[in-house]
Amino acid sequence: MKKKWLSIPAMLLVMFVHSQTSLQKLYPVNFSDVTISDAFWKPKMQTVATATIDACIRYTQDKTGRIRNFEKAAQRSGRHEGIYYDDSDVYKAIEAIAYSLKNYPDPALEKKTDEWIEKIAAAQLPDGYLNTYYILTDINARWTDMEKHEDYCAGHLIEAGIAYYNTTGKDKLLRTAIRFADHIDTVFRLQNRPWVSGHQEIELALMKLYHFTQKKKYLELANWFLEQRGHGHGRGVIWDKWGRADYCQDSLPVKDQRKITGHAVRAMYLYTGAADVAAVTNDAGYITAMDSIWQDVVFRHMYITGGIGAQGSNEGFGKPYVLPNATAYCETCASVGMVFWNQRMNMLSGNARYIDVLERSLYNGAIDGLSLSGDRFFYGNPLASPGNYMRSEWFGTACCPSNIARLVSSLGNYIYGSSSDAIWINLFAGSKAAIMVNNSKVDINMETNYPWDGDIKLTVAPAKKQHFNLHIRIPGWLTAPVPGDLYRYADEEKAVPEIQVNGITQKYDMINGYAIIRRNWKKGDRVTIHLPMTVRRIVSNPAVKQNENRVALQYGPLVYCVEGIDNQPGTGSIIIPPGTTFETVFNPSLLGGVNTLVFKAPVVTIDKEGTAVSTVMKKITAIPYFSWNNRGASDMQVWLPSAVKKISLNE
Ligand code: FUB
Ligand code: ZN
C-alpha cells in the first residue's frame, strides 16, 4: 500500500510549526535521533532487546492466551482467555519491540511481530471496533462499562501502531489503530455520548496520533475525553459498585482538580494527556490544575525513590505524608508514568525541576522494576523488605514488564530537548544526537560515567558556525533531594558545579534550573561539566512518621539501600549516626558494576544468651536501590535508623 504518512523529519517540522503558537518551551529530541553508547544504559537496553522482549513474547504468545485471543476473535468464536485488558499487553510489547528494533535491528523479531500484527488486524470488526474480550464474550455489551478498558487498549494500540510504523515503515497496525480511533470518535464525540474512560491512556495516545497525522479530530477527541470527567457521567463498576469517582480522577472536572487522588497509573496517564493537550491548545485551566496536583504529588506523596502510590488497596494515593516503606505499593508503571508526565511538564514550562523528579523516578523507582537479567520484574517496589519479596517472571495483570521495556528501549527520548534557538541537556548519558536548531543540524556527542561520577564532556558540531543557547540542566540533587520540603539533606554542603567551554570556566545565568551558555558555536567546541557528587544523608519531613529517626543515603541521582546479603540479615539494626563518613567504591564485578557506599556503623547486637544488647562497629556496604534483589532473597532497607531509639524493620 502506498504510504501517505509523514516522515519523521516532517513530523519534527510540524512540531516546530506548532511551537510558534504553543506555550511549549521545548521539544524532546526523538530517540531515533539519539544513539546511546552509555555504560550504564546501553547494557540495560541490550538486555531489554533480548531477555525482556523474549519474556514478553513467551508470556504473551506461549504461556498465556493473549495472542490466541486475537486468533479466536478473527474467527468470531472461542473462549476468551485471561483478563479483559490483556490486549493492552500485546500492544505494549509491540511498542517496546518497535523501539528496540530501531536500536537493534532483528529480522526474526520483526517477522514475529508482523505475524502478530496480521492476527490483530484480522480480529478487527468491520466498523473498526477491536477488543478481544467483548468480541469473544458478548459484542452487544461493548461500550457499556466504562471501566472495562476498551479505550485504554485502543490507546496502547495507537501508540504501538505509530511506534512500529516509525521503525519499520509498515503501516498495517497503524491503519488498524486509526480505524479504531475513528470508530471511537464516531461512537462518542460525534454523538456527544458521555464516556468517562475508567483507565485513562487514550488521551495521550490520541495526542500522539494528532501529531502524527495532523488531523485535528484526534486533538478534539483527546480534549473531549478530558472534558468528560467530573460531571457525573461515570457508569460501571468503579462508579456503581465501588462509588469511587476519585479512584479514576472523576470527582471533579480536570481543570478544577487541585489534589492527587486515586489510582496512580490512571492519574499519571491522565495528566500526561492533559499536558499534551495543553501544549497545543494553551489551555491555562489544565496548566493551573496540573501545577497544583504536581505539587501535591511531589511535596506530600512521593517516596524518595520517585515511586508513587503508597497503597495497594487502590493501587494508588493515600493520605498526605503517609509513606509506609515495607508495604509501599509504588507500582513500576506508576514510576514509568511519572517519567511521562514530568517530561511533558518540563516541555510546557522549560523548568528543570520536572526533570529532577523524572530522573529520580527513572533511576530508582522505575528501573528497580527490572532485574539485571531482564527477565524478572517487580510490580510493586517497596523500600524495605524482611527478605521474602522477589521479582517475578510474570504477573496475572502484566502491565509492568512491557511498560518498563518500552521505557528503557526509548530512553533516548529523555536526554535532549530542542527549541527554536536552543539545545537542552536534560539527562546525562553517553550518546550522540543530531538536533535541529534554527533549521540547521547540530551534532552533539556526550561522554560521561554518570551516575557513577558527575563529569560530563560534550562535543558540539554545528553544520555551520551558529549562534544558539545551550541549556544545561544543573541537577536539583546538588542542593536538595527534591523540590519542596518532603525531604531535605541532613547536612549543609556547598556543591558548586563548574562548566568550561574549550577549557575556559564559564559564568552563566541560571534560569529555571538550567545553566545557559550563549555562544557562537563552531565544530569541535568542547563543553565540560563538573557536578560534585558526594554521599548525602536525607531526612524526611517530620510529618512522615514512618521515617522518623531515620536517614536515607543518596549519591548523585541514586538512592541507596542496605541489603542483607552484603552485610548480615537484620539490616534494620544498622544505625547511621550523624558524622558517619562514607567511601564510594566502584565494584566492577558487583551487580553489573556499581558504586557501593562503604562505611563503618554501629550495629545493634544481642548476645548469645539473648539477654544483653550492645552495639558493635561493623563495615557496611550499601548498593543502589535499583539493583537490590538480584542475588536471591535478602532483607533490605532504604531508611535506616540514625540513633538507637526504635530499631525494627522499617514499616
Ligand atoms: O488496569 C490496567 C493496569 O493494571 C493498571 O494500570 C495497573 O495499575 C493494574 O491495575
Ligand atoms: Zn504495572
Of all protein residues, the one whose alpha carbon is nearest to atom 6 of ligand 1 is: 265
CA of 162 from ligand 1 middle (Å) equals 22
CA of 149 from ligand 1 middle (Å) equals 10
List the beta bridge partners of residue 331: 380
CATH of the domain at 513: 2.60.40.1180
- What's the pLDDT band for 644 if we cut at 50, 70, 90? confident
Query: Has residue 138 got a pLDDT over 90?
Result: yes
Query: Mutate which of 153, 315, 335, 379 to test ligand 1's pocket (most atoms within 8 Å of Cβ)?
Result: 315
pLDDT given for residue 648 in this prediction: 56
Q: Does 397 contact ligand 1 (Cβ within 6 A)?
A: yes
Q: Does 87 contact ligand 1 (Cβ within 6 A)?
A: no
Query: Has residue 174 got a pLDDT over 80?
Result: yes
Show the domain range for 146: 25-414
Query: Has residue 297 got a pLDDT over 70?
Result: yes
pLDDT given for residue 5 in this prediction: 54
84 lies in a domain? yes
Closest ligand by atom to 333 CA: 2
Residue 307: partners with Cβ closer than 8 Å, 6 or more residues away: 328, 330, 334, 335, 361, 364, 365, 381, 383
List the beta bridge partners of residue 468: 519
pLDDT given for residue 514 in this prediction: 98
Per-residue model confidence as pLDDT tens digits over 308-348: 999 999 999 999 999 999 999 999 999 999 999 999 999 99
Q: Does 91 contact ligand 1 (Cβ within 6 A)?
A: no
651 lies in a domain? no
547 lies in a domain? yes
Query: Mutate which of 153, 199, 272 to test ligand 1's pocket (most atoms within 8 Å of Cβ)?
Result: 199
Rg (CA), the chain: 25
Mean pLDDT of 504-509: 97
12 lies in a domain? no
Look up residue 616 and give its three cell numbers: 558493635
Q: Does 265 contact ligand 1 (Cβ within 6 A)?
A: yes
Closest ligand by atom to 268 CA: 1
- What's the pLDDT band for 607 if we cut at 50, 70, 90? confident
Amino acid letter, 48: V
**Distance (Å) of CA 134 to CA 69, 150, 236, 241, 618:** 11, 9, 15, 21, 60
Q: Does 237 contact ligand 1 (Cβ within 6 A)?
A: no
Look up residue 524 and give its three cell numbers: 569541535
179 lies in a domain? yes
Closest ligand by atom to 397 CA: 1
Q: Does 183 contact ligand 1 (Cβ within 6 A)?
A: no
Query: Has residue 376 got a pLDDT over 70?
Result: yes
Query: Mutate which of 66, 83, 84, 85 to test ligand 1's pocket (most atoms within 8 Å of Cβ)?
Result: 85
Is the domain of 391 the same as that of 502?
no
CA of 436 from ligand 2 middle (Å) equals 35
SS3 content of the chain, % helix, strand, coil (to 5): 40, 20, 40
Query: Mutate which of 263, 330, 336, 377 to test ligand 1's pocket (most atoms within 8 Å of Cβ)?
Result: 263
Per-residue model confidence as pLDDT tens digits over 409-459: 999 999 999 999 999 999 999 999 999 999 999 999 999 999 999 999 999
pLDDT given for residue 141 in this prediction: 98
Query: Has residue 408 got a pLDDT over 80?
Result: yes
Q: Does 333 contact ligand 1 (Cβ within 6 A)?
A: yes
Is the domain of 552 the same as that of 410?
no
Is residue 396 classed as helix, strand or coil in its secondary structure?
A: coil
Per-residue model confidence as pLDDT tens digits over 583-603: 999 999 999 999 999 999 999
380 lies in a domain? yes
Is the domain of 273 the same as that of 336?
yes
CA of 626 from ligand 2 middle (Å) equals 17
Is residue 265 classed as helix, strand or coil in its secondary structure?
A: helix
Query: Has residue 650 got a pLDDT over 90?
Result: no
- What's the pLDDT band for 1 if we cut at 50, 70, 90? very low
Query: Has residue 508 got a pLDDT over 60?
Result: yes
Is the domain of 314 the same as that of 289?
yes
Is the domain of 135 the same as that of 72?
yes
Is the domain of 526 the same as that of 578?
no
CA of 266 from ligand 1 middle (Å) equals 8
- What's the pLDDT band for 647 if we cut at 50, 70, 90? low
Is the domain of 563 the same as that of 440?
no
**Distance (Å) of CA 541 to CA 255, 303, 487, 574:** 29, 12, 6, 22
Ligand 1 atom nearest to 199, measured from its CA: 1
pLDDT given for residue 614 in this prediction: 87
Of all protein residues, the one whose alpha carbon is nearest to atom 3 of ligand 1 is: 399
Q: Does 334 contact ligand 1 (Cβ within 6 A)?
A: no
CA of 362 from ligand 2 middle (Å) equals 15
CATH of the domain at 178: 1.50.10
Q: Does 238 contact ligand 1 (Cβ within 6 A)?
A: no
**Distance (Å) of CA 17 to CA 20, 22, 208, 237:** 6, 9, 16, 43
Is the domain of 574 the same as that of 516?
no
CA of 549 from ligand 1 middle (Å) equals 34
Q: Considering only 109-118, 247-256, 339-348, 611-620, which range has the smallest mean pLDDT? A: 611-620
Cis? peptide before 451, omega within 30° of 0: yes
pLDDT given for residue 8 in this prediction: 44
Closest ligand by atom to 400 CA: 2
187 lies in a domain? yes
CA of 86 from ligand 1 middle (Å) equals 10
Is the domain of 374 the same as that of 454?
no
Per-residue model confidence as pLDDT tens digits over 259-274: 999 999 999 999 999 9
Of all protein residues, the one whose alpha carbon is nearest to atom 8 of ligand 1 is: 265
- What's the pLDDT band for 612 if we cut at 50, 70, 90? confident
CA of 315 from ligand 2 middle (Å) equals 10
Ligand 1 atom nearest to 397, measured from its CA: 4
Query: Has residue 6 got a pLDDT over 70?
Result: no
485 lies in a domain? no
Q: Does 331 contact ligand 1 (Cβ within 6 A)?
A: yes
Query: Has residue 207 got a pLDDT over 80?
Result: yes
Look up residue 118 and give its three cell numbers: 496480521
Query: Has residue 12 got a pLDDT over 50?
Result: no
Q: Is the dihedral of CA 471, 477, 480, 485 positive or negative?
A: positive
Mean pLDDT of the chain: 95
Is the domain of 188 the same as that of 225?
yes
Q: What is the pTM of this model?
A: 0.96
Q: Does 379 contact ligand 1 (Cβ within 6 A)?
A: no
Is the domain of 426 the same as that of 397?
no
For residue 614, the tally of other CB atoms under 10 A from its CB is 10
Is the domain of 325 the same as that of 438?
no
pLDDT given for residue 651 in this prediction: 57
CA of 293 from ligand 1 middle (Å) equals 21
Domain count, the chain: 3
CA of 552 from ligand 1 middle (Å) equals 29
Look up residue 412 and give its three cell numbers: 533516548
Last residue of one domain, picked from the residues 414, 437, 458: 414
CA of 369 from ligand 2 middle (Å) equals 9
CA of 527 from ligand 2 middle (Å) equals 39
pLDDT given for residue 73 in this prediction: 98
Closest ligand by atom to 401 CA: 2
Closest ligand by atom to 394 CA: 2
